[in-house]
């Protein structure tokens, strides 16, 4: 199946429809196409062409949406860089992705120190001459359009390939589940370098739907948009849902009848949050997905929200879910996923490693079960994964940094329950000649702020099994 170049096709079909609303103005799909095409021609002047990899270090603003679309008009692959990473982490990802160019948002406080690759700011590109090119009107299903890095259980980040077919099937399956109306407007307060944010950019052009974009999450503004009827859908994590509900409750606000969907992902949602959201007339749909599946794999429908509390729902139309090595409902095992939304693989250092089993299933590493009606329940988001404010933190990555300190003999990390963030990382360290303050400072040079251990406990030894493997579940008991 060939897939039309999304923005070009959308601008032809519904040029006058509202595409993007933000603090800097409003764009129709024609405006979006023309502005993005100009940037694409300027990028082409710098030698960027179809199939090239362009890394984007940016904030979640309207200009970033234009640059993403500009790359796709060129049929270039966008490497989405998390703007919270350190220079060391960015250097590793840019090198691993073999990016031809790094584009940096002028609003990034400090220009990153990246080696061996050309870096250009938004403003520098805006000032450049345009070089015309022929837009590739059709993409193949397996054409990579975006690359996102997600840390593996080894602590080594993996560059996940997301193809035109992956993104398109994800968007279509979501529409079949949620429905579409000509009044739809999606409130986006998610980072555009996350699949949760980027998927809204993509749905907007595939559906012909307005996107209301905010650079940062703002609970008060979100509550006002939801209550006013300006927006019909929003994606959140449990932490941000709780903050919106608190604002609405304290101001006696109710969701407008036009507001149809509050998608909650990024981990389990506490029952208390769901009950308080219901009191504000918020239609909550719990969802389950990951970077490797281009957003949603399963979503719990509104009709089942109360009856199947705690469930992530059934797989969307094109998708399949199975539980490894189980034969009956309710048995817990590893969640397996199959469908056209699943990544075909990784880039760089992990490119030789296939994410799929021999018969085409993606082994998620998540523990869960299917009930007798086929509803998915996630028991744990990968046994050791820490989810902090919707961000995935892998203990092995923090352990690897701690172990790089000459005074650290052993290190183990697990998540501690936290009222504000859901979970925060805590480190257990075997060392006799370093302080907590020194180790935190050392980590700051090598890890994004959200990954920093909130506490370091010094111990004589770490719990290990017979084969000397660290038992992180024992660390959780120590907490």
What digits encode the pLDDT tens for the residues 48-107?
999 999 999 999 999 999 999 999 999 999 999 999 899 999 999 999 999 999 999 999
- Strand ranges (E), 291-390: 295-299, 314-315, 320-323, 333-338, 346-347, 362-370, 376-380, 386-388
- Domain containing 302 equals 172-380
What digits encode the pLDDT tens for the residues 113-127?
899 999 999 999 999
Number of structural domains (the chain) is 3
Question: Does the residue 450 lie in any domain?
Answer: yes
Identify the domain boundary among 380, 395, 430: 380
370 and 392 in a common domain: no
3-class SS shares of the chain: helix, strand, coil, % to 5? 30, 30, 40
Check residue 153 and give its pLDDT.
46
Average pLDDT for 173-188? 95
Question: Does the residue 9 lie in any domain?
Answer: yes
CB-neighbour burial class of residue 200 (10 A; exposed 0-12, middle 13-18, buried 19+): buried
398 and 354 in a common domain: no
pLDDT at residue 416 is higher than 60? yes
Question: Does the residue 420 lie in any domain?
Answer: yes
396 and 356 in a common domain: no
- Residue 193 Cα to chain centre, angstroms: 7
Rounded to 5 degrees, φ, ψ at 474 are -70, -35
pLDDT at residue 365 is higher than 50? yes
375 and 395 in a common domain: no
- Residue 457 Cα to chain centre, angstroms: 31
Question: Does the residue 277 lie in any domain?
Answer: yes
pLDDT at residue 451 is higher than 50? yes
What digits encode the pLDDT tens for the residues 2-15?
999 999 999 999 99
CA distance 235 to 199: 10
CATH of the domain at 259: 3.40.50.12780
351 and 419 in a common domain: no
447: tokens are: 């890890």
Report pTM.
0.86
Range of lowest pLDDT (131-145, 379-393, 409-423): 379-393
What digits encode the pLDDT tens for the residues 226-260?
999 999 999 998 878 989 999 999 999 999 999 99
**CA distances, 139 to each of 21, 164, 167, 234 (Å):** 27, 7, 12, 29
**CA distances, 370 to each of 143, 321, 376 (Å):** 33, 9, 5
Check residue 1 and give its pLDDT.
82
CA distance 413 to 424: 10
Check residue 381 and give its pLDDT.
58
Average pLDDT for 153-179? 90
């Amino acid at each position: 199946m060939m897939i039309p170049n999304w923005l070009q096709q959308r601008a032809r079909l519904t040029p006058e429809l509202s595409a993007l609303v933000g603090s800097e103005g409003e764009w129709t799909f024609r405006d979006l196409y023309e502005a993005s095409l100009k940037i694409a021609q300027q990028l082409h002047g710098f030698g960027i062409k179809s199939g090239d990899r362009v890394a984007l270090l940016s904030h979640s603003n309207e200009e970033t949406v234009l640059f993403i679309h500009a790359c796709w008009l060129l049929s270039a692959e966008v490497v989405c860089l998390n703007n919270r990473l350190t220079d060391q982490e960015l250097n590793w990802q840019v090198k691993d992705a073999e990016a031809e160019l790094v584009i940096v948002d002028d609003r990034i406080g400090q220009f990153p120190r990246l080696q061996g690759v050309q870096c250009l700011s938004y403003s520098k590109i805006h000032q450049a001459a345009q070089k015309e090119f022929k837009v590739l009107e059709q993409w193949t299903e397996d054409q990579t359009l975006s690359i996102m890095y997600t840390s593996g259980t080894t602590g080594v980040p993996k560059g996940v390939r997301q193809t035109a077919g992956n993104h398109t099937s994800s968007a279509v399956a979501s529409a079949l589940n949620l429905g579409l109306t000509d009044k739809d407007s999606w409130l986006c307060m998610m980072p555009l370098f996350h699949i949760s944010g980027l998927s809204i950019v993509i749905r907007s052009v595939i559906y012909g739907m307005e996107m209301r974009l905010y650079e940062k999450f703002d609970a008060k503004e979100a509550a006002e948009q939801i209550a006013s009827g300006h927006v019909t859908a929003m994606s959140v994590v449990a932490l941000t849902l709780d903050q919106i509900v608190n604002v609405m409750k304290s101001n006696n606000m109710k969701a407008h009848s036009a507001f149809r969907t509050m998608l909650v992902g990024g981990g389990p949602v506490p029952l208390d949050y769901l009950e308080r959201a219901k009191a504000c007339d918020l239609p909550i749909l719990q969802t389950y997905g990951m970077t490797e599946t281009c957003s949603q794999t399963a979503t719990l429908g509104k009709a089942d929200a109360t009856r199947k509390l705690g469930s992530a729902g059934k797989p969307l139309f094109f998708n399949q879910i199975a539980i490894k090595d189980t034969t009956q409902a309710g048995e817990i095992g590893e969640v397996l996923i199959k469908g056209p939304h699943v990544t075909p693989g990784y880039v760089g250092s992990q490119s030789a490693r296939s994410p799929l089993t021999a018969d085409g299933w993606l082994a998620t590493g998540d523990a869960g079960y299917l009930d007798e009606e086929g509803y998915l329940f996630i028991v744990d988001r990968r046994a050791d994964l820490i989810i902090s404010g919707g961000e995935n933190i892998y203990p092995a990555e923090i352990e690897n940094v701690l172990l790089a300190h000459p005074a650290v003999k052993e290190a183990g990390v697990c998540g501690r329950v936290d009222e504000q963030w859901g979970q925060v990382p805590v480190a257990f360290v075997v060392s006799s000649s370093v302080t907590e303050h020194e180790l935190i400072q050392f980590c700051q040079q090598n890890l994004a702020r959200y990954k920093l251990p909130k506490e370091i406990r010094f111990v004589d030894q770490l719990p290990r099994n017979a084969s000397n493997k660290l038992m992180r579940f024992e660390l959780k008991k120590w907490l």
